[in-house]
């Protein structure tokens, strides 16, 4: 037994020591050459940015260097500084100290705004000449986090992305993104008063590309909203540039941004920009924020300028819970200008997918070929604990081949919630409605009420119905459904439906196209309002219900029960939304005609209603002056509807 314990302890120590085995890791710190202060967010790249990272708040970085890149060059760049470049030192080695020098001024400030706007106009006109005119694919490293007030990440998510870009002649902020690899660590409590997972983060590779989307400050339609000035000039990526500041004109509330852009003096290409949202821009944004800032740079490759980096920060104070400080960045590591096929629907990320909810467990060796972070102490401990737990699990319970990585277990309530979906539908309720005159008289025995109302029924070909439906998935294909519905136009009425629905995906490798089938039990009221009238008898009782209000209203209605088998199609618009269309057939079970009386005065929470089933001795119903017990409209059988469904998952 002691020998067994000794072997186990040795194995445990080997496992713990695994992440610390020797690696070709380049460590460095980037400082301002004049102030000797650390420079955060500087872009660090090796081998023409095929691998890279950025500096943390202390100016430090760590980059795992594959042996094949050991003889490549290291570059460090940041807007406003001269680029730093040198061959990689022998590795492993001591921390490398890098000092960046501010680019020297080349131009004095110019106050003539007309000529400055001419530079911007020329740069916009030359976009088709300076940027890709054919589809391209960027490979890049993405990172996002939500930091607390001390700058410590509450979560950290990273990924290797493929971003498909349309030609730049077409103005767009959209594009496909494919997450090739990912990892995450989540330090947040399971339950917070408000828990926000940022959506759309990986799409900053498209949303932050201000040249491709023709952001407002380079949009000719908005030139009238901005003041453009030529600031003290500098170099960018060792090229002489025009540094142009932009800000809203005095009193203008249509300008959403303020910042500066860098335009190459020779080619008039936009090489980069940094800007923040104005108060008007924050108000116009669909997403709430107290501040939002961006920094974007481009790089030259194969005769064109391509997106190099996007940096994005958003801050928001919430009424409940900690303030949010979202940070995201994208760094291009490879550019493919060949006619690469666009990623299929299944492979593409959706904007509403939350990157943090990927199913990949943390692995310290995950980025050996890309980057190694320098996280805070608390984050390092959490990562170490996670990895140690994974190693323990693999020691005592080996995973089967092909088993997906372990992910954080959902609570029972979360698993229950993820089975829900809901949606709204609109359709044509099948009614045959001829024109007719209607008269209803009601004189209950023993009371002073004598009501007589007339109405003209108009011929109607289309009766509109809306439905709100909840579904709970029993299996991936079979779900329970419960819905409520309401009629509009000449007739009024409410109803409900309960049943089962089934979906089958006809297109599993591309955008899902579902075949839908369902069976429901439905009850629907179709009523014609007859208006309101005074009630002379405060003691009035109708079928045992006291109606003592001073004012009553009346309507005649049919209440029908039916089975509703249906067939339809559903097209997935995104992983959250599905467009559905159904055709149904109503199989009637029973129907009754009623006179309904409602209280119209008094406190609304205590108003009562009562119904009288027809025929009744104290109710006289006439259609076109002929006594009858049937209302003039007739229920038909075919029901068509179209709607939108939202999945909570």
pLDDT tens-place string over residues 159-176: 889 999 999 998 998 889
What per-residue confidence (pLDDT) applies to 111? 42
Residue 552 has phi, psi (to 5 degrees) of -120, 160
What per-residue confidence (pLDDT) applies to 304? 93
Percentage, residues of the chain above pLDDT 70 = 84
Q: Which of 66-70, 549-553, 587-591, 623-627 has the lowest mean pLDDT?
A: 66-70
Averaged pLDDT score across all residues of the chain:
83
What per-residue confidence (pLDDT) applies to 193? 64
Tens digit of each residue's pLDDT (9 = 90 or more) over 435-482: 999 999 999 988 989 999 999 999 998 899 999 999 999 998 999 999
For residue 362, pLDDT beyond 60: no
Mean pLDDT score, 277-301? 92
Chain centre to alpha carbon of residue 113: 40
Domain ranges of the chain: 113-150+198-338, 414-647
**Confidence category of residue 358, pLDDT binned at 50, 70, 90:** low
Q: Which of 47-56, 122-131, 260-269, 561-570 has the lowest mean pLDDT?
A: 47-56
Which DSSP string corresponds to 65-88?
Answer: --GGGTTSEEEEE-TTB--EEEEP
Place of tokens 């972070």: 373
**Confidence category of residue 401, pLDDT binned at 50, 70, 90:** very low
What per-residue confidence (pLDDT) applies to 459? 93
Residues 6+ away with beta carbon under 8 Å from 326: 144, 145, 146, 198, 312, 313, 314, 315, 316
Mean pLDDT score, 71-96? 86
As a whole number of angstroms, the distance between CA 632 and CA 599 comes to 26
Is residue 255 helix, strand or coil? coil
Other Cβ atoms less than 10 A from the Cβ of 550: the count is 12
Mean pLDDT score, 100-108? 62
CA distance from start to end of the chain: 50
Q: Which of 52-61, 393-402, 579-588 has the lowest mean pLDDT?
A: 393-402
Tens digit of each residue's pLDDT (9 = 90 or more) over 169-222: 989 988 899 988 887 777 777 666 666 777 888 999 999 999 999 999 999 999
**Confidence category of residue 35, pLDDT binned at 50, 70, 90:** confident
What per-residue confidence (pLDDT) applies to 54? 78
- The CATH label, of 3.40.640.10, 3.40.50.970, 2.40.160.20, 3.40.1280.10, for the domain at 414-647 is 2.40.160.20
H helices of 64-182, in order, are: 113-125, 127-130
What per-residue confidence (pLDDT) applies to 305? 95
Q: Would the pTM count as exceeding 0.85?
A: no
Residues 6+ away with beta carbon under 8 Å from 544: 610
As a whole number of angstroms, the distance between CA 288 and CA 317 comes to 10
For residue 384, pLDDT beyond 70: no
Residue 499 has phi, psi (to 5 degrees) of 180, -165
What per-residue confidence (pLDDT) applies to 147? 79
What per-residue confidence (pLDDT) applies to 410? 53
Question: Between 416 and 66, whose confidence is greater?
Answer: 66
For 36, counting Cβ atoms within 10 Å of its Cβ (0-12 exposed, 13-18 middle, 19+ buried), the class is: exposed
Structure letter (DSSP) for residue 400: P
Tens digit of each residue's pLDDT (9 = 90 or more) over 5-24: 444 333 333 333 344 344 57
Among residues 266, 278, 277, the alpha carbon closest in space to that of 305 is found at 266
Pairing outcome for strands 291-301 and 270-277: antiparallel
Q: Which two tokens stand for residue 306?
A: 């391509």
Distances (CA, A) of 153 to 123, 184, 379, 535, 557: 39, 11, 7, 68, 62
For residue 399, pLDDT beyond 50: no
What per-residue confidence (pLDDT) applies to 119? 92
What per-residue confidence (pLDDT) applies to 46? 85
For 207, the enclosing helix (H) or strand (E) is helix 204-207
Place of tokens 């003539």: 112
Cross-strand bridge partners of residue 442: 451, 619
Question: Between 65 and 13, whose confidence is greater?
Answer: 65
**Confidence category of residue 240, pLDDT binned at 50, 70, 90:** confident
What per-residue confidence (pLDDT) applies to 383? 55
What per-residue confidence (pLDDT) applies to 365? 55
Among residues 529, 538, 500, the alpha carbon closest in space to that of 516 is found at 500
Question: Between 81 and 122, whose confidence is greater?
Answer: 122
As a whole number of angstroms, the distance between CA 475 and CA 485 comes to 26
As a whole number of angstroms, the distance between CA 335 and CA 333 comes to 7
Mean pLDDT score, 585-599? 95
Among residues 81, 100, 98, the alpha carbon closest in space to that of 89 is found at 98
Q: Which of 45-54, 417-426, 460-469, 614-623 has the lowest mean pLDDT?
A: 45-54
Which DSSP string corresponds to 466-521?
Answer: EEEEEEEESSSSEEEEEEEEEEETT-BEEEEEEEEEEEEES-TTSS-EEEEEEEEE
Q: Which of 102-106, 137-141, 344-348, 610-614 has the lowest mean pLDDT?
A: 102-106
Tens digit of each residue's pLDDT (9 = 90 or more) over 507-543: 887 889 999 999 999 999 999 999 999 999 999 999 9
Q: Which of 194-198, 314-318, 385-389, 566-570 has the lowest mean pLDDT?
A: 385-389
For residue 372, pLDDT beyond 70: no
Chain centre to alpha carbon of residue 644: 16
**Confidence category of residue 235, pLDDT binned at 50, 70, 90:** confident
What per-residue confidence (pLDDT) applies to 47? 81
Percentage, residues of the chain above pLDDT 90 = 50
What per-residue confidence (pLDDT) applies to 387? 53
């Amino acid at each position: 037994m002691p020998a067994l314990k000794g072997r186990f302890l040795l194995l445990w120590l080997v496992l713990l020591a695994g992440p610390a085995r020797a690696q070709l890791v380049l460590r460095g710190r980037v400082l301002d050459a004049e102030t000797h202060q650390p420079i955060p967010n500087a872009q660090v790249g090796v081998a023409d940015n095929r691998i890279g990272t950025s500096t943390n708040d202390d100016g430090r970085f760590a980059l795992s260097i594959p042996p094949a890149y050991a003889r490549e060059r290291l570059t460090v760049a940041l807007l406003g500084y001269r680029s730093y470049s040198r061959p990689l030192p022998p590795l492993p080695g001591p921390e490398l100290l890098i000092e960046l020098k501010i680019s020297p001024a080349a131009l004095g400030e110019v106050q003539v705004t007309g000529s400055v706007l001419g530079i911007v106009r020329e740069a916009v006109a030359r976009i088709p000449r300076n940027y890709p005119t054919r589809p391209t694919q960027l490979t890049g490293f993405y990172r996002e986090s939500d930091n607390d007030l001390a700058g410590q990440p509450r979560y950290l998510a990273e990924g290797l992305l493929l971003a498909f870009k349309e030609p730049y002649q077409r103005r767009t902020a959209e594009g496909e993104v494919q997450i090739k690899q990912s990892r995450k660590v989540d330090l947040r409590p399971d339950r917070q008063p408000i828990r926000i997972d940022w959506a759309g983060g990986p799409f900053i590779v498209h949303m932050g590309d201000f040249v491709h989307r023709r952001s407002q400050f380079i949009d000719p339609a908005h030139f009238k909203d901005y003041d453009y000035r030529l600031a003290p000039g500098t170099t960018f990526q060792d090229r002489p540039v025009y540094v142009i500041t932009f800000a809203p004109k005095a009193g203008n509330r249509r300008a959403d941004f303020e910042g500066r852009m860098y335009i190459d003096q020779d080619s008039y290409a936009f090489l980069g920009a940094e800007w923040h949202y104005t108060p008007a821009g924050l108000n116009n944004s669909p997403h709430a924020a107290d501040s939002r800032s961006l920094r974007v740079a481009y790089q030259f490759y194969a005769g064109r300028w391509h997106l190099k980096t996007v940096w994005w920060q958003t801050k928001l104070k919430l009424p409940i819970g900690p303030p949010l400080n979202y940070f995201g960045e994208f760094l291009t590591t490879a550019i493919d200008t060949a006619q690469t096929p666009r990623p299929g629907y299944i492979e593409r990320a959706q904007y509403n997918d939350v990157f943090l909810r990927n199913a990949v467990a943390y692995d310290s060796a995950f980025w050996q070929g890309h980057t190694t972070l320098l996280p805070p102490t608390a984050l390092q401990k959490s990562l170490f604990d996670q990895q140690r737990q994974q190693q323990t699990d693999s020691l005592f319970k080996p995973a089967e081949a092909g088993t997906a990585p372990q992910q954080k277990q959902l609570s029972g309530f979360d698993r229950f919630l993820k089975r829900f979906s809901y949606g709204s539908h609109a359709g044509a309720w099948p009614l045959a409605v001829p024109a007719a005159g209607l008269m209803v008289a009601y004189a209950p025995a023993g009371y002073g009420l004598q009501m007589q109302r007339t109405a003209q029924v108009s011929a109607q070909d289309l009766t509109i119905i809306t439905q709100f439906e909840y579904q709970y998935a029993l299996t991936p294909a079979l779900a329970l459904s419960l819905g409520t519905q309401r009629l509009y136009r000449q007739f009024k009425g409410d109803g409900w439906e309960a049943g089962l629905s089934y979906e089958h995906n006809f297109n599993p490798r591309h955008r899902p196209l579902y075949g839908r089938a369902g069976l429901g039990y439905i009850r629907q009221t179709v009523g014609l309002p007859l208006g309101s009238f005074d009630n002379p008898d405060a003691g009035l009782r109708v079928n045992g219900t006291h109606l003592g209000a001073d004012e009553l209203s009346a309507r005649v209605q049919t209440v029908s029960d039916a089975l509703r088998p249906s067939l339809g199609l559903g097209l997935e618009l995104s992983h959250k939304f599905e467009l559905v269309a159904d055709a149904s057939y109503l199989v009637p079970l029973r129907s009754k005609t009623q006179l309904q009386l409602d209280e119209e005065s008094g406190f609304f929470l205590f108003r009562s209603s009562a119904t009288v089933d027809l025929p009744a001795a104290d109710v006289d119903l006439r259609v076109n002056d002929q006594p009858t017990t049937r209302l003039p409209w007739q229920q038909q059988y075919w029901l068509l509807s179209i709607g939108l469904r939202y999945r909570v998952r």
